[in-house]
Amino acid sequence: MAWMILSPALLCAQLDKLGEQLGQLGNKVPLTQIKLVADPADARLRPLETIVIQVQAFGKPADQTVRLQRAGARLQIKPAGLGWLSKPFVFQGKDEEKFYEESVNSIINIFRQQSGAFVNKDSFLYTAPQQPGKYTIEAELDGQKASIEITVAANAPSRKKAETSSFEPERRARDAYRPLAEYYAPFLAQETWYQPKSDMPARFDFDRDWDGGNNWDHMEEGSSQAYVYYAAMETSTHWFLIYNVFHPRDYSDKCAAATCHENDNEGIILTVRKDGSQFGRLQVMETLAHNNVYSMTADNQVRSGAHNIDGPVEFYDESHPAVFIESGGHGIYGTRTEHSRYQFANDEFTAGTGITLIYKGVAERPLHANHRLVGYDLLPILDHWWPKAEQGQWNENTFDEYFQYQPAGGRPALPFAIGGSFYGRNQAANKAKPFWGWHDTQTLKKGLLAVGQWGLDPAYGVTRNLRMPGEFSLDYVYNPYLLIGERPEAQAPEPAVAPSVEPQTGAVEIELRVDDVVEVQIAWDQVYAQTISGQEAAQVKSVFSAPVPPVALQTMTLKKLDGRGEVTLWQHAEAGNGFTTIVRIEDSKGGADNYRFQLVWAR
């Protein structure tokens, strides 16, 4: 008999499915009523903040009304499109009302009690729109309906923790491979769940320290600026680009069997054929999800090897391969695989909410759990992580479980031990791995690739996983992680994004055409005009003397230069709102008008 070992995340998914099937066998009591409950109970929240909505189910097995374990409610927001709802989850708040045991099968009852896996996924996270107002959430379950009214107001109490960390733009290293990494920087479709900030790609030192053992606790007040780490290797025939997507928490709505842990780091490896052009041609994208590698191709001549081909690569803006990143566990898949819950063509997260991220060279903060085209910056692993990896060379709790890399196939090894995991103790110990600690369960069992080899030796790894067409060299011209080759510098030093002396004052002038009400959001050097009512804002232009820094400012002054209506400084930038300034324009007269205003700031 062949046994399949499931990862904790896949095990829980299988238990969930089995639990639903057993529950269906045991459900005997007709549903007579459902009720929507908000947590917090006052159902008031600020724009773009979140609140939990629980769908409680009741029935009458006799003359007494009892609470039933029922899930699967369908929710909708009215008016439609004003706010967003996550995929369902097990209620995380205080719920002391006992469920009525519907099953007449004692075996089912015992299995439910012992596993603890079959708790109702009866809750949803509602993210409010930017526009204040009253919104109704309606639910339907087995023919029963209920609704609840949510008030979105700028003066509602904020439940977000203020961020105490913020990062100025990174100075660019003289890295000859960075333009290549930028050209292929992936499009990330990051699903969000009931802890949206835990699903935001971050830097390891997002809390301004290198201690991996406090990242779980520091997640809420640490920076939400978006970063992705990269590494590059080269042979005479190919380039290999590795992207690491780090999260401070791997979480679940029921942390069992080590399904939750401090730190999380899944990733992507791109195999790019040199074809004489500046950036070559992408052939293969491989992704990591829970110690399993998935293979997507952009070259129809690539054939299956130890791995099957899981689907084609989809591209954003021609060169950026698109991936789906699951919420909670953060496994990465191609957007055209069966595991993806994101439809690239429709820009839709099919199960609930999510953010999309693209490389902009600026680490932006997502404004809410369903934000689109958030900018991220790239950080070189060779500078940020690798100098800390060798055993005995770094004193902070950044890495742990040091090991001697022992590759298969007589491939190049390392003369020193390296940290095989990120240091972490909360929920479970040392579950997150840097790319040199990754492994693929299938090829590891077959002895084709050793622990760490898929990332440290990607040329060899991809030729074990797949059959590559044409000439394919396994000899590296450059692989600093195997101590091969000298790091080439860019032909000329890349200019720093930020000036050597940070400006203490600055201004931005914005113009646009407004019909009725528009809110203009300004963060760093990005401007987004959200139409609240009337025709869509048009002809949006902006000129910055310097980006608005993501720090607490001493002053921010608004001056209207053109326009017939009211222009108001609606929201001051602060840590709690991602350092986003909002200017509200109200044009009450018929038709549209041109507006121009200036914001002047001082640190």
Percent of the chain with pLDDT over 90: 72
The pLDDT of residue 20 is above 70: no
Answering whether pTM is above 0.85, one says no
Angle between helices 8-26 and 106-115 (to 10 degrees): 150
DSSP label at residue 181? H
Confidence of residue 4 (pLDDT cuts 50, 70, 90): very low
Q: Coil, helix or strand for 443? A: helix
Residue 443 has a pLDDT of: 97
Half-sphere exposure of 282 (CA within 13 A, CB side): 27
Output the CATH code of domain 8-152: 2.60.40.10
Mean pLDDT of the chain: 90
Give, for 11, the enclosing helix (H) or strand (E).
Answer: helix 8-26
**Mean pLDDT calculated for residue range 170-176:** 84
Percent of the chain with pLDDT over 70: 90
Spatial distance between the Cα atoms of 528 and 536, rounded to a whole number of angstroms:
12
Spatial distance between the Cα atoms of 153 and 128, rounded to a whole number of angstroms:
10
Residue 215 has a pLDDT of: 98
**Mean pLDDT calculated for residue range 94-109:** 71
**Domain segments of the chain as ranges:** 8-152, 185-222+229-482, 505-602
Query: Phi then psi for 128, rounded to 5 degrees?
Result: -75, 150
Q: Coil, helix or strand for 212? A: helix
Question: Could you identify the residue written with the tokens 């979140």?
Answer: 50
The pLDDT of residue 378 is above 70: yes
Q: How many CB atoms lie within 10 A of CB 30?
A: 12
Half-sphere exposure of 599 (CA within 13 A, CB side): 32
Confidence of residue 580 (pLDDT cuts 50, 70, 90): confident
Q: Is 27 exposed, middle or buried, given 0-12, 13-18 or 19+ CB atoms closer than 10 A?
A: middle
The pLDDT of residue 328 is above 70: yes
Residue 119 has a pLDDT of: 74
Encoded amino acid at 313, one letter: V
**What radius of gyration, in Å, describes the C-alpha atoms of the chain?**
26
Would you give the end-to-end CA distance of the chain in angstroms?
A: 68
Contacts of 378 (CB under 8 A, 6+ apart): 178, 181, 182, 185, 227, 228, 229, 230, 359, 361
Are the beta carbons of 343 and 189 closer than 8 angstroms? no
Are the beta carbons of 405 and 414 closer than 8 angstroms? yes
Give the residue, 504 or 175, on which the prediction is more confident. Answer: 175
Residue 173 has a pLDDT of: 74
Q: Which of 43-52, 78-87, 162-171, 571-580 has the lowest mean pLDDT?
A: 571-580
Q: Which residues pair with 288 in a beta bridge?
A: 293
Give the residue, 37 or 114, on which the prediction is more confident. Answer: 37
Are the beta carbons of 333 and 350 closer than 8 angstroms? no
Residue 17 has a pLDDT of: 55
Are the beta carbons of 449 and 307 closer than 8 angstroms? no
The pLDDT of residue 117 is above 70: no
The pLDDT of residue 341 is above 90: yes
Q: Which of 325-339, 352-366, 499-513, 586-600 has the lowest mean pLDDT?
A: 499-513
Are the beta carbons of 267 and 404 closer than 8 angstroms? no
